[in-house]
Structure 1
Amino acid sequence: MTANTKYSLKCALAIIMIFSAIQCVSSDDDDDDDNDVFVEVEQSKSEPNVDYTSPIPSGDFHLAENFDDISSFQKKWVPSQAKKEGIDEELAKYDGVWSVESPQRDGFKSDLGLVLKSKAKHAAIASKLDKPFYFTEKPLVVQYEVNFQEGQECGGAYLKLLSHTKETQDLKQFYDKSPYTIMFGPDKCGNDYKLHFIFRHKNPNNGTYEEKHCKKPKERINEAFEDKKPHLYTLIVNPDNTFLIKVDHKIVNEGNLLEDFVPPVNPESEIDDPNDVKPKNWDEREKIPDPEAQKPDDWDESAPAKIIDSSAVKPSDWLDNEPLMIPDPDAEKPDDWDADMDGEWEAPLVENPRCDGVSGCGPWSPPLIDNPAYKGKWKPPMIENPNYQGKWTPRKIPNPHYFMDPLPFKMTPISAVGFELWSMSSSILFDNILITDSVDVALDYASKSYDLKKKKIDEDAESLFIRILKYSNERPYLYAVYIVAVGLPIALLFVFCCGSTKEEKSETQMNADPKKTDALTPDDQPTPPPKAKNQLDIPEDNVEVEEEEEEEEEEEEEEEDDDDDNDDDVEEKEEISTVHEKEDVKKTESGQGDVPSLKKRKPLKE
């Protein structure tokens, strides 16, 4: 098994050990789709850490709907049986599905809400107020919760405050044309995020109604459409024409009914005279050509903008006789080709392969360059117009439709509320709708409903980290457990992937630089001198190989620390060894004594 194979196996083993400790939990929610209002009570999976009871307003109110009392809901809320006008019969029906059920997540056991179950269908449902709201001397406060449990792609979740008129008495006929006084709530399609506040203003002159649209919010509201959590929407309209819009108790928009709506409540006192006509001699030109300017004598208007580059030279590899495109030699005429019907068949053209890698093919012509003598058509310079009269505008006349409504707060009274929606996302949950004339009542109502939900969601979010931290602070020994649990897999991964065996290190070092040793290598061994007649016939190579093996075992342990110093020692030892060998050879040749090297060498094994 090679070193690379061992390394790969070790990495794979370490990764398997780490991922074996990870567990993934996933859950899918299925959507139900029916044609009636269903009551479905789903128990929350987690026990609430906050006490929750159905909220009850602490003061006067016109509507307070928490959807927790199913029998009360069924008596008050009426699904629409109307049809939209001007569209296909099948699309005109309000056949969207409404259901009363618990939230999909982060909910209390006893908390229910109104849920729009279906998507891509028109849906409408409405309820009468306990008593109509009249715009007198107290503010209007509208408050309700919205939870896009599946997020929102395209669609609205706004609430309509239906006008107190004959058209809104039968809520079964509630549809998009039903008169409303205020429309308030979130809406989104694509990247267009909106928080509507629209009111219908009555013209005091002729009694007609016109929609007035509030300016866009100052703050970002994107998160409420994406985080799949409940959010509280609040509208406060005051008798002094001021308004406030809040999301989760935070002001996101504010202004004045007279100043911050389009079109404005009160029209202009003067308008342009539709019968006024601009005089024929009215001069609107700020600048005119200088009438006294003359074209210079040397101005040549006939000079072309481009001329042939006379210095250009045809490239030496240019192929004049080769066309750029040639008939495809591999093309074949289709079997069903009819010359009488289709004409003479011709192979499709393809690029000429002979033109690849050369400057060009076909007839060569020099390129065009800018003409330095080109000036173009002469035009006189522009000067200030001495007869300039300014931009003409029609004269103003009194607006025959002018009126002044100093108190647009006094809107049409409200007697019902309803949702008339179309959405491409399902499972939109509505809860805790409140219509009142007291800001304090609304705040108290929110403290008993939305604020408790928010607190529970925050606690559940903390449980993964904060609770573990608090629990660990009470038991400090757990930090050692965490360090082992986290550090051990990392250490194993490092050791298995980055470590190497002793044999691999030794092999790598020897292959990297064989010169880092005092032992003689095949390149360093000197050429032995010719043997004398009386010299013993002992294989010199085998004796030196054994010496090299013994020296290598002793020197491997010193290599790492002495590599730099050994480079110089190697040269000195080689010179000394060579001198001794030459002296031994001379003594042998002269017949004096035995072979000296045999005294230090071990006998050869048979």
Structure 2
Amino acid sequence: MMCFKAIIALLTIGVISAEVFFEEKFENENWKNDWIYSKHPGKEFGKFIHSAGSFFNDAEADKGIQTSQDARFYALSKRFDGFSNEAKPLVVQFSVKHEQNIDCGGGYVKLFDCSLDQTDMHGESPYEIMFGPDICGPGTKKVHVILSYKGKNHLINKDIRCKDDVYTHFYTLIIKPDNTYEVLIDNEKVESGNLEDDWDFLAPKKIKDPNASKPENWDDKATIPDPDDKKPEDWDKPQHIPDPDATKPEDWDDEMDGEWEPPMVDNPEYKGEWQPKQLDNPNYKGAWEHPEIDNPEYSPDDNLYLRKEICTLGFDLWQVKSGTIFDNVLITDDIELAAKVAASVKDTQSGEKKMKELQDDVQRKKDEEESKKNTENHDEEDDDDDDENVDSKNESEDNGHDEL
């Protein structure tokens, strides 16, 4: 019985300890009262509008903030009670919808400590975490995971591909106290690993022994030229020869045009540069590997995961073509809660696709009718031109009869 009570107590503690540090669903226009635009000099920042976009699953529930001006930087942030993720997971999650079929622009968020001056936030402002999709042309379609360590930003060493369609997608970053991480898109894990292995936070554990070098007599050539192989006497042939089928043009004048020479063509007998055949090298020792030693500059850190203070979330990005909608922002230590929130994405995408298909069908019919109308107008113009030509001809004939 005591054991059962202990289990219940532990479960209760676990439930109580789970926290939501920040949540923003942009449910109404009041979001403008809490979010602050940067006024950093030298840049004209774009504005966000409250919208569910042109196609959606739920007209109200799907409203977020949407970039509204092309070719602009955006700098918007909101402060909340500061927290540390010491000894607990950190989950950063939000949804992105590039309904404009984005060609070049960011869709990520940044997390800052409490020292950020929100009215002066800009691209060089120090941050703790940068996470989310970034697209620019066909070559850049990645999920950024950048973590700050000792004042320097470190980009993940892995290439994580983001979604590049026009529908809503949830992006989730989970950082755990055991220095492991996961990246999920639409509740499906797309990458995971160890912070030390996948970021260059620390010096390498091993380095090449500076006192070691390849022995002078080390032979790392797998093959050697056959010393008994000789070049055939008839090997050397010119690469190009005069075209044997060419003849001097009949109108060629040697005095005027100079001495005629046939054009050059590839020589079918040309064999290229002669190389002796190769034999296995009896002295081959394999590729020499530089021995490694423990790196004296390596120092392990069990707190790579730790963010001592986070209290501001910002959208600090550039977009060539606007229209991206951000929504469902969640920062918590509750992994299960984040998964439940992101589970709604399938229904959202299904509703968006149905509405967009209907819109596309209407537009397609409209385009067909417009094209048909233009064709009919063109045909009518051609008929009018024909009538005018006939009238002109008849008028000319009538004038001719009058003269007669």
TM-score category, normalised to shorter length = 0.5 to 0.7
State yes or no: 1:147 paired with 2:97: yes
Aligned to 2:394: none
Q: Is contact 2:49–2:68 with CA below 8 Å preserved after alignment?
A: no
Aligned to 2:123: 176
Over the residues paired in the alignment, what is the CA RMSD in angstroms? 4.2
Whole-angstrom CA distance in 1 between matches of 2:283 and 2:208:
25
Whole-angstrom CA distance in 1 between matches of 2:75 and 2:264:
76
Paired AA for residue 144 in structure 1? F
Q: Is contact 2:77–2:315 with CA below 8 Å preserved after alignment?
A: yes
Aligned to 1:103: 52
Aligned to 1:114: 65
State yes or no: 1:322 paired with 2:251: yes
- Tell which structure's C-alpha radius of gyration is larger: 1
Q: Is contact 1:153–1:190 with CA below 8 Å preserved after alignment?
A: yes
1:534-573 equivalent positions in 2, closer than 5 A = none
Whole-angstrom CA distance in 1 between matches of 2:223 and 2:122:
58
Q: Is contact 1:270–1:397 with CA below 8 Å preserved after alignment?
A: yes
Listed one character per residue, the Cα deviations across residues 369-419 of structure 1 (whole Å, up to 9, x for unaligned) are 655xx8888765543444444444544343122122345322443221111
Whole-angstrom CA distance in 1 between matches of 2:298 and 2:315:
35
Aligned to 1:64: 23
Paired AA for residue 288 in structure 1? I
Whole-angstrom CA distance in 2 between matches of 1:133 and 1:269:
32
**Residue 152 to residue 295, structure 1, CA distance change in 2 (3 Å):** closer
State yes or no: 1:426 paired with 2:374: no
State yes or no: 1:238 paired with 2:189: no
**Residue 124 to residue 306, structure 1, CA distance change in 2 (3 Å):** closer
The offset of 1:96, in angstroms, is 2.0
Whole-angstrom CA distance in 1 between matches of 2:35 and 2:239:
80
Q: How many residues align?
A: 338
Listed one character per residue, the Cα deviations across residues 496-549 of structure 1 (whole Å, up to 9, x for unaligned) are xxxxxxxxxxxxxxxxxxxxxxxxxxxxxxxxxxxxxxxxxxxxxxxxxxxxxx
The offset of 1:213, in angstroms, is 0.7
**Residue 377 to residue 122, structure 1, CA distance change in 2 (3 Å):** closer
1:82 counterpart SS class: coil
1:176 counterpart SS class: coil
Q: Is contact 1:127–1:416 with CA below 8 Å preserved after alignment?
A: yes
The offset of 1:209, in angstroms, is 3.4
1:175-324 equivalent positions in 2, closer than 5 A = 175-191=122-138, 192-200=140-148, 202=149, 207=150, 209-213=152-156, 215-217=158-160, 221-222=162-163, 225-227=164-166, 229-249=167-187, 251-258=188-195, 261-263=198-200, 265-274=201-210, 277-278=213-214, 280-291=216-227, 293=228, 295=230, 299-300=232-233, 304-305=237-238, 320-323=249-252
**Residue 461 to residue 260, structure 1, CA distance change in 2 (3 Å):** farther
More strand by share: 2
Q: Is contact 2:179–2:196 with CA below 8 Å preserved after alignment?
A: no
Q: Is contact 2:100–2:323 with CA below 8 Å preserved after alignment?
A: yes
Whole-angstrom CA distance in 2 between matches of 1:66 and 1:79:
18
TM-score between the two structures when normalised by the length of structure 2: 0.68
The offset of 1:433, in angstroms, is 1.3
Whole-angstrom CA distance in 1 between matches of 2:357 and 2:237:
78
Percentage identity across aligned positions?
30
Paired AA for residue 82 in structure 1? H
TM-score between the two structures when normalised by the length of structure 1: 0.47
Whole-angstrom CA distance in 1 between matches of 2:109 and 2:274:
67
Which segments of 5 or more consecutive residues in structure 2 lack a partner in the other structure?
1-17, 360-404
Q: Is contact 1:98–1:117 with CA below 8 Å preserved after alignment?
A: yes
Which segments of 5 or more consecutive residues in structure 1 lack a partner in the other structure?
1-58, 84-92, 328-348, 350-361, 465-606
Q: Is contact 1:181–1:412 with CA below 8 Å preserved after alignment?
A: no
Whole-angstrom CA distance in 1 between matches of 2:193 and 2:77:
29
Q: Which has the higher contact order (CA 8 A, sep 6+)?
A: 2
Aligned to 2:39: 81
